[in-house]
């Protein structure tokens, strides 16, 4: 606890899967954590119930009409939570002095600016938004490093990166080689179409794509898992988090999702983190770090698992994974274009404007048009993000 008081928590994206699970873990430790602020885009009913349950000081609705509705319902319910609206309000709540930890769980590029603000304010950033590092890797990591004296920390929430973090010794960035780390083995379920005939993928429906075999996730990340773009984004994120080149990261398809990732060492050792597929485990690890706290997750019964299977990814089946490796190898503006185009393509697929197999074509088109070089300012990153979105929108409209 901070000076004997419960740690103040801000949850960005409170009504999503990560936000809901974070509140579940926090509820198990009422004396250690206090919810200061919650945010959502437009889910009034869900955020209303969360505010009534935990009584935060602030609640942010990005959508202004939704904010007005929330404020009205809170007053009727006798809840004193102050309601703010708009994107700027997200940056305001993460820098509040009473906030110690920020759960960064807003999906997509929308999470970048508040996450950066939290880093610069010296908060523990519990990162469940991989797009922040995909879009602004060096800029984001510099913000963490430059504000360490204020208390800035970065702890990964993705189950894979959290597993890698647990399987590595505490290190100063850039020292992995001295510690004998030779390779990161990033596991992937392979998604719902791992065993489908490749020719049948063109007929995949949004309903089929969001039905993940192992994890309960939002629609966008579920589609990313089906294309394995989610794993591609994780490769890029891992490069920045652990200061390794992309050729030192090997994706391993592991259908059971019990081994969350592994780290290989020069002496032949391979350390792995195992557990039931439940996001409360990495959330609890980040909240309690360096201690471990109860997450509510049942213990893994290794006899029930019985077997663990591993496969190499087929880059023809998972074209998006190859594009992510290519984008990171190019660097700079390419990864921004990759992320922006993917978000546009997934949205178009979910709204049945393009087929499942068109998603990588949209991304490939954006990468071909991305400029060379590396952006040095946040404005350059945001400008490229907007440009790639516009290009992708035109490409989709022309199909």
Residue boundaries of the structural domains of the chain: 7-156, 173-277+297-397
Residue-wise pLDDT tens digits, 212-262: 776 667 789 899 999 999 999 999 999 999 989 999 999 999 999 999 999
Residue-wise pLDDT tens digits, 356-396: 999 999 999 999 999 999 998 999 999 999 999 999 999 99
Say if CB 202 and CB 355 are below 8 A apart. Answer: yes
Q: Any idea which fold 173-277+297-397 has? A: Rna Polymerase Sigma Factor; Chain: A (1.10.1740)
CA gap 38, 335 in Å, rounded: 29
Q: Do domains 7-156 and 173-277+297-397 have the same CATH topology?
A: no
pLDDT at 384 (0 to 100)? 96
SS (H, E, C) the chain: CECCECEEEEEECCCCHHHHHHHHHHHCCCCCEEEEEEEECCCHHHHHHHHHHHCCCEEEECCHHHHHHHHHHHHHCCCCCEEEECHHHHHHHHCCCCCCEEEECCCCHHHHHHHHHHHHCCCEEEECCCHHHHHHHHHHHHHHHHCHHHCCEEEECCHHHHHHHHHCCCCCCCCCCCCCEEEEEEEECCCCCCCCCHHHHHHCCHHHHCCCCCCCCCHHHHHHHHHCHHHHHHHHHHHHHHCCCHHHEEEEECCCCCEEEEEEECCCCEEEEECCCCCHHHHHHHHHCCCCCCCCCCCCCHHHHCCCCCECCCCCCCHHHHHHHHHHHHCCHHHHHHHHHHHHHHHHHHCCCCCHHHHHHHHHHHHHHCCCCCCCCHHHHHHHHHHHHHHHHHHHHCC
Cα 271 from chain centre = 23
CA-closest candidate to residue 217, choices 301, 162, 163, 158: 158
The residue written with tokens 């797009």 in the block is 131
CA-closest candidate to residue 131, choices 13, 281, 306: 13
CA-closest candidate to residue 166, choices 233, 243, 256, 263: 263
CA gap 71, 82 in Å, rounded: 8
CA gap 319, 225 in Å, rounded: 12
pTM here? 0.91
CA-to-CA dists, residue 110 to 106, 151, 261, 339, angstroms: 7, 24, 27, 12
pLDDT at 172 (0 to 100)? 44
The HSE-up count of residue 304 (CA atoms within 13 Å, CB side) is: 8
The residue written with tokens 């949004």 in the block is 206
Residues for the chain: how many in total? Answer: 399
Which structure tokens are listed for 75? 């007053």
pLDDT at 174 (0 to 100)? 55
Q: Which residues pair with 12 in a beta bridge?
A: 104
pLDDT at 75 (0 to 100)? 93
CA gap 279, 19 in Å, rounded: 10
Angle at Cα 271 formed by Cα 267 and Cα 275, nearest 5°?
170
pLDDT at 171 (0 to 100)? 55
| 10-residue stretch averages of pLDDT, the chain, 399 residues long | 84 96 97 97 95 97 95 94 96 98 91 96 95 91 95 95 89 63 94 94 94 76 94 95 92 95 96 95 97 96 93 96 96 95 97 97 97 92 96 96
CATH of the domain spanning 7-156: 3.40.50.720
């Amino acid at each position: 606890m901070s000076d004997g008081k419960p740690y103040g928590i801000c949850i960005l994206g409170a009504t999503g899967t990560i936000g809901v699970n974070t509140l579940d873990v926090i509820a198990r430790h009422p004396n250690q954590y206090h919810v200061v602020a919650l945010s959502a885009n437009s889910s009034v009913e869900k955020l209303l119930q969360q505010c009534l349950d935990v009584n935060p000081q602030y609640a942010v609705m990005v959508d202004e009409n939704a904010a007005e509705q929330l404020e009205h319902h809170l007053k009727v319910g006798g809840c004193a939570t102050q309601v703010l609206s708009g994107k700027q309000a997200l940056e305001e709540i993460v820098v509040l002095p009473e906030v110690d930890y920020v759960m960064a769980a807003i999906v997509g590029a929308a999470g970048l600016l508040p996450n950066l603000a939290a880093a610069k304010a010296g908060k523990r950033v519990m990162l469940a938004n991989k797009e922040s590092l995909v879009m602004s890797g060096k800029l984001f990591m510099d913000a963490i490093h430059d504000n360490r004296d204020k208390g800035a920390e970065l702890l990964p929430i993705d189950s894979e990166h959290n597993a890698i973090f647990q399987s590595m010794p505490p290190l100063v960035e850039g020292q992995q080689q001295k510690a004998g780390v030779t390779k990161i083995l990033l596991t992937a379920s392979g998604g719902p179409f791992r065993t489908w005939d490749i020719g049948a993928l063109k007929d995949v429906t949004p309903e089929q794509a969001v039905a993940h075999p192992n994890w309960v996730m939002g629609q966008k990340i579920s589609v990313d898992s089906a294309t394995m773009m989610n794993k591609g984004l994780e490769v890029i994120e891992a490069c920045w988090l652990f200061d390794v080149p992309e050729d030192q990261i090997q994706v391993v398809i592991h259908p059971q999702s019990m081994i969350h990732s592994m780290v290989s060492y020069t002496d032949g050792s391979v350390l792995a983190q195992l557990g039931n597929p439940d996001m409360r485990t990495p959330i609890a690890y980040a909240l309690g770090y360096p201690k471990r706290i109860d997450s509510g997750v049942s213990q893994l019964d290794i006899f029930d698992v019985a077997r663990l299977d591993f496969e190499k990814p087929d880059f023809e089946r998972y074209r998006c994974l190859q594009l992510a490796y290519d984008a990171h190898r190019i660097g700079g503006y390419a990864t921004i274009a990759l992320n922006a185009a993917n978000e546009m393509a997934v949205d178009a697929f979910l709204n049945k404007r393009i087929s499942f197999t068109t998603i990588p074509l949209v991304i490939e088109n954006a990468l071909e048009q991305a400029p060379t070089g590396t952006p040095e300012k946040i404005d350059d990153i945001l400008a490229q993000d907007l440009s790639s979105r516009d290009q992708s929108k035109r490409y989709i409209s022309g199909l």
